[in-house]
Chains A and B, each alone.
Chain A
Amino acid sequence: MSAGSTDTAVRTGRITRTALYLVLLLFALFYLLPFAIMVINSVKPLTEITGGNMMALPQDWTFDPWVKAWATAQIGVDPTGLKPYFWNSIKMVVPAVAISTILGALNGYVLTKWRFKYDTLIFGFMLFACFIPFQIVLIPMARILGLAGLAGSTPGLVLVHVVYGLGFTTLYFKNYYQVFPTELVRAAQIDGAGFFRIFWRLLLPSSGPIIVVSVIWQFTNIWNDFLFGASFADFDSQPMTVALNNLVQSSTGVKEYNVHFAGAILAALPTLLVYIVAGRYFVRGLMAGSVKG
């Protein structure tokens, strides 16, 4: 693909190239602008925002809005800042991502290497999960969480996200393991490795790229989720997104836009970080399943 584009690039003239880069640059700026405004305004005193230009660089650089958003801002009834909610999100995201990824890998392993009757049908149902809108499951899910005694708790949220993410992770791992040679599994069987041993020692260590895909996908979705967090969490288990909403919506006193911007960036930071660290494996992993399969 890259070789092809280089070929055509050689043939295009200097002017076309310049134009191309200009357009690309313009688009990049267009996408970066909102983020730039958020960053700029998050390091300004509030007076500069209310009394002046949103686009202007700060005259007084200050990190007070960040500190405030993190530690002391009024959220709901308590002036706790986003800090406790950040940890709520972490406590929800880490287990949910880990469990849904591991279960997805196991499902993919069984669906490709331990085929059974009606397995394609079952996979079809699991795929269905990818297409069900969040809103539809709210009420049944609330009932189930209530019955399980998990309503309003972090484990409850973990369960919701695991169930919801399983369709996607299963799809990823099934596609990936589809092209994993079955002869390897047979060789391991003859060598005396059992079901789980083959999974842990052979398949999982060979699944790096697809694990990255699954983790990025699940992390981004679960971290950014607002609806489930708002519906199923109590005050002491609310995730970051809900807290951010409460921060911005709180009606007491003046709107502290600089604090809101800082809070929003704080809420977006983890997903950004995950993508920067693992992003280059993301495309590689997506390709690995699709090209050969």
Chain B
Amino acid sequence: MSFLTIDNATKSYGSVEVLHRVDIDVQEGEFLVLVGPSGCGKSTLLNMIAGLEDITSGTISIKGKSMNGVHPSNRDIAMVFQSYALYPNMSVAKNITFGLEMHKVPKAERETALRDVAKLLQIEPLLDRKPGQLSGGQRQRVAMGRALVRNPDVFLFDEPLSNLDAKLRVDMRTEIKKLHQKLGTTIVYVTHDQIEAMTLSTRIAVMNGGFIQQLGTPKEIYDTPANLFVATFMGSPSMNLIPVKILEENGGLVAETTNGLGETIKLPFAAPPTGLKDYVGRTITLGLRAEALTDPDGADSKAVNLVTVKNRVIVMEPAGSDTFVMTEFGGQDCNARMRADVQVAPGEDVDFTINMDKVVAFDPETEDRIV
């Protein structure tokens, strides 16, 4: 029995179904991130878990108990909102203990809980202030304190970091991760930022158009995306997609395409997915992460199947830790992630090494990964 079960849940507004048959099982202590572009239904799903929106059909249960029709305050959940939603007329201390007061927790207990949470989040000096007198990061902490103090079964986070500036966002991200490791609580976290999703989660649900596109660990999502949407949405820069023709040669499968010099090149598969045989003679989409396309010295030495081809450099972008080099395969611009100190210049023809262990193949019509 899993901790939080979303079973066949749908949501409709009138005749428009915005969330289609969602099935997710969340284990205790898991950090599930719902990620997707705006309008994909991720916040709706979170609000349904919270009880702020009804479920049109299906069930959501926590600890095996159905939550359909249960009031938000009786679900043993706590939520951190994007705008923090701190009560402007109450002090920080009152903000944090308001929920306990509403649940008729005795005053002495409230005080102890408040002190513990304030210490954990290092907001002790702020307790007498009003939310208006706090900085963005401090408000964020108070909002988390308000959730933590309830000690709920499930924490719900609705894009909690999107109002912070870039640096603070990274700091708070680490802090949330630390908190999760320390407290081992179950968290459902909504974001549109795929880096947040990758770094924080134990599992990710990628959503688009009201459907769960893929549910898996960050590594599964990144290395073996279920379809073209997941492949391009997750990862920065996004996955290179190259049209290739599948040929059979010497009993093995080969992907044929062109490089930026107009030459035909052949990329042999070492361990092609079994389904790929059916595509011999047809054109498919080959997915290649930027780090699987690099300079020969930067290639993964543990990789089994490395192919080196010459190609032309179109643009070079030094990013400090890496150098991104844009080149062309099969008429498509491709990003290569090279070492920081690599010596290349635009217009130059240099060696690119492709890690064929890491390539994924997609059916261009269904857009699903070929397995």
Residues of A at the B interface (CB closer than 8 Å) are 181, 183-184, 186-193, 197, 201-202, 205-206
Contact = CB atoms under 8 A, between A and B. Distances in A.
Given A191-B73, A192-B73, A186 B85 contact: yes
Contact of B102 (A183, A191, A206): A191
Contact of A183 (B51, B72, B81): B81
B370 interface: no
A190 B78 contact: yes
A284 B150 CA distance: 38
14 contacts: A183-B81, A184-B86, A186-B85, A187-B85, A188-B98, A190-B51, A190-B77, A190-B78, A191-B150, A192-B74, A192-B102, A192-B103, A202-B87, A206-B88
Given A197-B102, A202-B89, A206-B88, A189 B83 contact: no
A126 B27 CA distance: 51
Which 7 interchain pairs have the tightest Cβ spacing? Answer: A192-B73, A192-B102, A191-B99, A187-B85, A205-B89, A183-B85, A183-B81
A205 B87 CA distance: 10
A190 B72 contact: yes
Given A187-B81, A191-B73, 4 more contacts: A189-B71, A191-B146, A192-B73, A192-B102
Contacts of B77: 190
Nearest to B53: A186
Interface string B328-360: 000000000000000000000000000000000
Contact of A190 (B79, B82, B87, B88): B79
A193 B104 CA distance: 11
A189 B146 CA distance: 13
Contact of B89 (A183, A190, A191, A206): A206
A181 B85 contact: yes
Contacts of A186: 50, 52, 72, 79, 81, 85
Given A183-B81, A193-B102, A188 B52 contact: no
Q: Which of A190, A197, A206 has the most chain B CB atoms inside 10 A of its CB?
A: A190
Contacts of A192: 73-74, 99, 102-103
Interface string B64-100: 0000000111100111011101111100000000110
B87 A181 contact: no
Contact of B72 (A189, A201, A202, A206): A189
Nearest to A190: B72
Contacts of A191: 73, 98-99, 102, 146, 150
Contacts of A201: 87, 98
A186 B72 CA distance: 9
Contacts of B72: 186, 189-190
A192 B72 CA distance: 7
A184 B73 CA distance: 14
B134 to A, nearest CB: 16
Nearest to A197: B102
Contact of B73 (A181, A189, A202, A206): A189
Contacts of B79: 186-187, 190
B127 to A, nearest CB: 18
A26 to B, nearest CB: 43
Contacts of B52: 186, 189-190
Given A189-B52, A190-B77, A202-B89, A181 B83 contact: yes
A109 to B, nearest CB: 15
B98 A183 contact: no
Interface in B13-42: none
Contacts of B103: 192
A183 B83 contact: yes
A181 B143 CA distance: 15
Contacts of A193: 73, 98, 102
B73 A183 contact: no
Nearest to B152: A190
A193 B74 CA distance: 11
B74 to A, nearest CB: 8
Contacts of A188: 87, 98
B83 A190 contact: no
A181 B51 CA distance: 18
Contact of B50 (A181, A190, A197): A190
